[in-house]
Amino acid sequence: MTTVLATTAAICALAAAGALPVLAAVGLRWVSVTLAPLAGAVVAALAATASLTFGGPLMSWFVGLAALGAASVFGLWVVRPDLGPRRVSPGSGGGALHRAAGIVGFLAVVGTCAWSLRGLRSPTVGFDARALWVMRPGWFLQSHAHLLVDLKVRSLGLTQSAYPPLVSASTAVAWKITGIHTARLGVTTVAVLNACALATAALALVECGRGMAGRLSRPWVPMAAGLVAAVLLVVVAAGVTQPFLTNGYADPLWSLAAVGAVAFGLQMPGDPSARAATVVLILVAGTTKDEGFVTAVALVVLVAARSIGWAGLRGERKRWVAPAVVALGELAVLLWWPTMMRVIGARGASSTFTTKTDLAHRTSATVHGMSPYLHVLVLAVPLAVVGGLLLSGLRRRMGLGNDLWAWAALAVGLGAVGAVLVASTSPIGPWILSTVHRITEFPILQAWWIIGVWAVVAAAGLAGPRDDAPAVPRAADVDTPDASSAPVGDPVGVPG
């Protein structure tokens, strides 16, 4: 079996595990196609954690959890046929142009993502990928007793083996179903998952433009802007994340998933479908790497805060119960692996943070180390300020979330990584030198996505309002399941 065939089989297996839960939660949308393998990767991560916690082979847990998810979905559809995959989404029912934009946008984004993976023509396996990400899958396929030894024994010295399991677990599934246990298959599988996360985040821009179209006299303008911005962002992101997009590292996956989570959870209209996509993306980010875990926890809080809004804080129970339950569920899943690392006493699970080091020196080194990689902020900040001052009303009328949510996510993600660098005991110089270009991927990408969203909003300003355009509620008000109060336009696109 060639690596191409093996990778295809692996991604199909992951997609099969994630397809039904995604269909049930997100609906029959274009973005569900790219979310399904990511959801399957989350299932693989949960299977690895369950295997570590309770024993039993990873593949048994993977198949069992996938079957449980599928059975739950079918049960839900039997009990509530109105929640089936072809349910009418809030504000769906756009015309032919709207549907065509969805098809063209999906094909353009997926095609550009595939083109961006051309780095795979080089057989590169990254240093950390070979030492950890696509080495650890072998541990997940060993017996429970040996997995414990691999994770605990001090003589191996590899403290990063306590990192969250998604990348290695997905590779383990790929190895097991194909019988090909190579680093190369791990790299290609992770690269396709990266592309899925990238496509999902970019499709948010396509849907952003389509969502605005129904309120404008020239609907093709924001749809075209969304498509162009999405395609450009794919190429930009591929450049930002190279060579790690195609050499097996975990940084692009969590960064792109977090960017997608911000797009669907904090920038798009807050309909249930977008919130479900957000949950999948947050779980991907948080079960991929420690930095992703910290950022994902922050995103859980921010998304819940946006959903609850001021109305929830004023005590409207229906406003905060559902978001709080979802947030607690997400946190439980995210905390499972790190908790297990502490319970079993794994290498690298104990904290090495301290406030006794030279914080001023470390802070200075961190700021100076990160600064050269964050020059996009020189563009994004003034653009967002101008947009916020002059176009915020338009943005609100188009049903998008306040730009400050995205900036809050960027600041929290950047701050969390910076705080870890500052408060850790590891030598700061070599650490910054060897990792800064990877750990700043999320804020860089997030800044570019902020720019992309403003491009689409600004394009909507050129399209002219439609005379009979309905009033758009505030972002938090869109959370209601009552479709009549949701904005016009299919928020995440119904396949043509």
Among 59, 110, 135, 185, binds another protein (CB under 8 A): 135
Among 7, 34, 49, 116, binds another protein (CB under 8 A): 116
SS3 content of the chain, % helix, strand, coil (to 5): 75, 0, 20
> With binding defined as CB under 8 A, does residue 427 bind another protein?
no
> With binding defined as CB under 8 A, does residue 22 bind another protein?
no
> With binding defined as CB under 8 A, does residue 51 bind another protein?
no
Near another protein by CB under 8 A, which window of 17-25, 397-405, 454-462, 472-480? 454-462
CB nearer another protein, residue 318 or residue 375 = 375
Of residues 336-395, those binding another protein (CB under 8 A): 376, 379, 383, 386-387, 390-391, 394
CB nearer another protein, residue 245 or residue 302 = 245
Q: 79 and 52 in contact (C-beta within 8 Å)?
A: no
Near another protein by CB under 8 A, which window of 88-96, 146-154, 305-313, 353-361? 146-154
> With binding defined as CB under 8 A, does residue 20 bind another protein?
no
> With binding defined as CB under 8 A, does residue 91 bind another protein?
no
Q: Where on the phi/psi map is residue 124: left (φ > 0), alpha (ψ -120 to 50), or beta?
A: beta
> With binding defined as CB under 8 A, does residue 62 bind another protein?
no
Q: At what angle do helices 317-344 and 272-286 cross, to 10 degrees?
A: 20
CA atoms of 460 and 446, how far apart (whole Å) = 21
Question: Before 243, cis peptide (omega within 30)?
Answer: yes
> With binding defined as CB under 8 A, does residue 232 bind another protein?
yes
In the complex, least distance from residue 462 CB atom to another protein, rounded to whole angstroms: 5
Please spell the DSSP secondary structure of 60-127, one letter per residue. HHHHHHHHHHHHHHHHHHHH-GGGSTTPPPTT----HHHHHHHHHHHHHHHHHHHHHGGGGGS----H
Place of tokens 């491009």: 455
The three-state DSSP-derived secondary structure of 117-177 is HHHHHCCCCCHHHHHHHCCCHHHHCCCHHHHHHHHHCHHHCCHHHHCCCHHHHHHHHHHHH
Name residue 141's amino acid: L
Among 18, 37, 40, 137, binds another protein (CB under 8 A): 137
Among 99, 181, 397, 474, binds another protein (CB under 8 A): 181
Please spell the DSSP secondary structure of 12-38, one letter per residue. HHHHHHHHHHHHHHH-S-HHHHHHHHH
> With binding defined as CB under 8 A, does residue 123 bind another protein?
yes
Near another protein by CB under 8 A, which window of 51-59, 79-87, 102-110, 126-134? 126-134
CB nearer another protein, residue 66 or residue 410 = 410
In the complex, least distance from residue 302 CB atom to another protein, rounded to whole angstroms: 24
> With binding defined as CB under 8 A, does residue 160 bind another protein?
no
Q: How many residues bind another protein (CB under 8 A)?
A: 69
Name residue 116's amino acid: S
Among 13, 236, 300, 422, binds another protein (CB under 8 A): 236
Of residues 188-227, those binding another protein (CB under 8 A): 225
For residue 67, give both structure tokens.
Answer: 């079957």
For residue 17, give both structure tokens.
Answer: 């595990």
> With binding defined as CB under 8 A, does residue 237 bind another protein?
yes
Q: 166 and 136 in contact (C-beta within 8 Å)?
A: no
* Bridge partners, 243 (sequence order): none
Q: Where on the phi/psi map is residue 163: left (φ > 0), alpha (ψ -120 to 50), or beta?
A: beta
Contacts of 327 (CB under 8 A, 6+ apart): 300, 301, 303, 304
Q: What residues make contact with another protein under the rule CB under 8 A?
A: 116, 118-119, 121-128, 130-131, 134-139, 142, 146, 149-150, 152-153, 155-158, 181, 183-184, 225, 228-229, 232-233, 235-240, 242-244, 246-247, 376, 379, 383, 386-387, 390-391, 394, 434-435, 448, 451-452, 454-455, 457-462
